[in-house]
Structure formats: C-alpha cells, structure tokens
Structure 1
Amino acid sequence: MKTLTIETSHATIAISDSEGSGPPLLMIHGNSSCRHVFRNQLDGEIGRTFRCIAIDLPGHGDSSDAVDPEKTYWMPGYADVAIEVMAALDIPSYAVLGWSLGGHIGLEMLARTKAVTHLMISGTPPFEANSESLDLGFLPSAHMHLAGQEMFSEQDISDYAHSTCGVNAPFEPFLLDCVARTDGRARAMMFSRILSPEAADQQAMAIHSPVPLAIVNGEEDVFINNDFIAGLAYENLWEGTVYRLKCIGHAPFWEAPEVFDPYLIRFLSA
C-alpha cells in the first residue's frame, strides 16, 4: 500500500493507493470520516485485485483544510477535488465507490466528467433538489442533526462516530479521531448548500445515470429511507436491484465486509 499526497486547487489531499493491478477504483468516504474506513477493502482481496485509490476529502483525515472553504465544502467542490486527484494520478477512467456523502459526490461527478465508468453508492439517498425530497430521503434519527453542525462536543464526536459506523459494527479509536479532526465548516457549509441549483440534481443523475449504478445499503441504516431509495425508477441500475443487506447499518463495507465485498467485486468485474 502506498500513501502519498497530491496538491490540488482546493487542498493537499492524502491518498492510499493499493497494490492491485486491475481496473482502478476511487473510494470516497462519508461526512466527518476518512479514507481508513475502507481499510478492509484496501488490505483485502479487492485491494490486491483492483487498483484502489482512497482519498481523504479536504477538511478530513490527513488532508489539509480547504484553501477556500466556500469553493470546496459542497458537492461541486468535492467532486472537482476527486476529478483533479485522478487526473494528477494520470488515471483517465475509473469506477467510484461512494459512501454516504461520498455517494452524493459520486453522483455529482457524473454531471462533471466522463471519466467515471461505474458508480456504486451506499448510504446515499438520491434526492431531488427540493426540501420535500430531502426530507423523504433521510430519516429523522437521533444524531442526524449532527451531520450539518459545525461545532462538536466530546459527546457529539462519540455519538456521530458510533452512529455512522453502525451500532453493531466494530468500533476503533480512529473513527473518533476522524470525526474530531474534521473541519466543522465542512459540515455546516455543505448542508447549507445541499439544495443549491448550482449543484447537480442528485435524483436525476441517479435515475438517468450514464454509467451502471449499483446501490448496496444496510437494511438497518438509521440515516436513510431505504424504501424511498428502492422506489425510484432507475434506468441503468446494476442487476436491476437496490440491494438491502439484512441486519447491517450505515457502513456495510466496514461492518460486514464479508457480506458487502462480493457485491463490489462482482460489480467491478462486470
């Protein structure tokens, strides 16, 4: 596994680059997380088979805070960061795995580049650009309000870290560190512009995806409305199914990689 940093117009971005020689996969983490949440895939069969590129978003993990927060801390900014990174690595086409916020970034990327060949999202409700759809896509869970809150107490850090990884998932100290490290402006500014008309319509991009779109969610995800996600009329849905993994929460690739990984391998091999 190689680790490196790349200078972009938004921030200095930290990257893990696996040893696999197969087709490349860009892995984008969720809100207030970091690239190490994909450790099981990076260090496992997927990382040995495919070239997996996991990044820390600006204001997250080992990446720097955004040079210009207004430019960066929203879907178009994050999408541009990911596109810049892959261009700097001289990777002209690649699949994307986006978790939670990372899935929304992946959908935004579809509107901004033709480099994405496949997109898998997990824990990501594709909402229309209106408040009614946003409310339908997400569930009013106990800690949902923290997703857009700038300042965190120690209790907030613990609550958010535990709830996002899944109540039955393995818990490690780095998950707390990721939340504590995150630039709080990234949460607040992203949510303040989540319905901006300058960003892509998430639902339209998912329904009319120009590339195969895979959706693999945890059935017990406390943040998303699985029925809402499954009910959309996707035109390019991989295997024609929104997969809902039983007894698994918001981060299935972390909580149950032995269940999740076969879906990802099959998708990347299609």
Structure 2
Amino acid sequence: MNIKNVFNFYSRYGKICYYDNKLDKDILLFIHGLSVCKEVFYKQIELLNNDFRIIAIDLLGHGGSENASHDFDYAYTVQGYSDCIIEFLTLFGAKAVTVYGWSMGGSIAIELLERYSGVKKIYIDSCTPVSYIQGNMRKAYLFNKVARLIIKKFYTYDEAIDCLKKGGIVPNHTHSFQKIEPVIEGFLRANGNMREISFASLMEMKGVSPKECVEKQREKVKILVGAKDPRINIKYLKKHFADITEIYPKSGHAIFWDNPSTLKQLLEQN
C-alpha cells in the first residue's frame, strides 16, 4: 500500500491509523481480525482501488494504531471498536458504506450494521452470527487447540507465523512471503492485553446479538465460510443462514486470502 495514503484519526480511545485512497465514491471499509492489521487486505485493495473509496483501518492495539489510552476493558471489545469506527464514519458523514469484516472483524461489521444507519451491506468472512440471547456460542463455533492459540499474551516470530498459518494466512502462488511480512510484524506488535480482553469479550457475548441482527437484516448480509475452517460449525450456518451463506470447498479461515477476487465478483453481482 502506498504510504502516502495512510492517515491518522484521533478517536476517544487513541489514534487510529488507516488507509484511504480518498476517491469520491461509495466507501468500502475493511476490518481485520484479532492481532493482525490492515495490510492483510492488500490484494483486495489492489483489485478494487479504482472502484470505491477504500478505507482499511488498524483497530486500537493493532498495526499502526495506538494502544487504547484508557478504559481498556471496554475499548478492546467489539462494542468499543465499533464506537471508534462509528465516530470515524460520522466525522465524514459516510453513507452507503459496504463493510468487509474478517473473523473478529465480522463481529464488528454486524455491530455496525445494527448501530450505524449508513451501512448498506456487510460481508462477513469466517465469522458466525451467534445468538447472545440464546447463548449458543458452542453450537456455532468449534472450540479446539486452534482457538486457544490466538490468546497468548506474547509470541515469538515462529509462533506468530504458525498462528497466522493456522488462521489461513500462508504464502502461496498468489501471496509471496514478502507480502506476509507486514502482517507478521503486525501480529507481533499487537498488544497482549488487548488480545486477552478482545477474546474474553467475544466469549462474554455482550452488545448487539449477531444472530438476531442478521435475521432482521439478512438482505444486507453475505456470509463467506471455508469448508476447511477449523473454527466454524458449518452445520449451524446451513441450518440458520443457508440462503445468505457461500461455502468455499477448498478454503479455511480466510476466504479473502484464498480467493482474492471473490469480493470483486460478489460486488459486481449486486
């Protein structure tokens, strides 16, 4: 990404770093997952950079953004992250916003759909709309050693690579190791306290209940999931959201990484 297109926004909890191509077009907002950074979406930015005003943010405690300055137990939750993004979008009077959220970013996208009227469509990648009301987290997700890997406070370089690999971020014929290096650096930079608080907040199931929000506004939602995703219970998605779910047989926990042109194709269909 062109460093000239990286800017800072000063939210209530600290400085947020973001990419913005500044085009006079509808906004396409990218929200990354836990412990990574905006650079993980470099390929989508390359493919769509002339078609939208693309904004890709680093959440607080991630990438080029600052660690939260106060109220950590709230600032590092889905609601806290969403507050900052809403503050950001409101500043620009943003309307007709399309949001692409990966993993934890998908949970934030659902929160934005419920709370920010300018959101017209969300794509949630490798994220399942659970019901906070029914408390059905263990029906929607698969809890195994892969899930536990993401909440360590500190990682070595090799551990970061291994964790990203299990999350689907691996070098291949499309992504060179050189392109992954900024994501590895972002993973190692991610605040350890943030990691623990963010994961715990997801388990506590507070805020907008994703399942009920998506059921109410399902025409604005597309769910993308890999058949090989070790964290997602696909049977749950087929039961509740078959009509708005796309399953990718050869993919794991990062559809956008395995299939970089998928979002462009989906956007062209709508």
TM-score by length of 1: 0.87
User: Please, which moves more after superposition, 14-23 or 93-102?
Assistant: 14-23
Q: Name 1:63's counterpart in structure 2.
A: 65
Matching of residues 28-177 of structure 1 within 5 Å: 28-44=31-47, 46-68=48-70, 69-129=72-132, 133-166=136-169, 170=175, 171=177, 172-177=180-185
Distance in structure 1 (CA, Å) of the matches to 2:79 and 2:247: 28
Moved more, 187-196 or 121-130: 187-196
Q: Which residue of 2 aligns with 1:24?
A: 27
Q: Which amino acid counterpart does residue 205 of structure 1 have in structure 2?
A: C
Q: Distance in 2 between matches of 1:166 and 1:197?
A: 27
1:237 is matched with which residue? none
TM superposition shift of 1:184: 1.3
In the comparison of the two structures, how many residue pairs are matched? Answer: 261
Alpha-carbon spacing, 1:223–1:166, altered in 2? closer, same or farther (3 Å)? farther
Instruction: Indicate how the Cα distance of structure 1 residues 260 and 211 shifts in structure 2: closer, same or farther if over 3 A, else same.
Output: closer
Could you tell which deviates more after superposition, 11-20 or 28-37? 11-20
Match of 1:183 in 2: 191
34-43 or 16-25: bigger deviation: 16-25
Q: Aligned pair 1:227/2:235, yes or no? A: yes
Gaps of 5+ in 1: 235-239
Q: Secondary structure at the match of 2:163?
A: helix
Indicate the structure with greater helix content: 2
- Residue 105 of structure 2 aligns to a residue in which SS? helix
- Equivalent position to 2:257, from 251, 254, 259: 254
Q: Is the 8 A contact 1:29 1:102 kept in 2?
A: yes
Give CA deviations for 1:131-178 in whole Å, capped at 9, x if unaligned.
962122222343210233333344432221111134575452222212
- Aligned AA for 1:71? Y
Counterpart of 1:121 in 2: which secondary structure?
strand
| Gaps in structure 2 of 5+ consecutive residues | none
Distance in 2 of aligned mates of 1:16 and 1:72: 21
> Structure 1, residues 164-218: CA drift from partner, whole Å, max 9, x if none?
1345754522222121110111221122222546411121112212761111222
Shift of residue 253 of structure 1? 1.2
Q: Which residue of 1 aligns with 2:11?
A: 8
CA contact (8 A) 1:26 1:94 kept: yes
| Structure-1 separation of matches of 2:219 and 2:104 | 19
2-side partners of 1:218 and 1:166: how far apart? Answer: 13
Identical-pair percentage = 25
Instruction: Give the C-alpha shift of residue 121 in structure 1.
Output: 0.5
| Alpha-carbon distance change, 198 to 222 in structure 1, aligned in 2, over 3 angstroms | closer
> 2: distance between equivalents of 1:176 and 1:35?
12
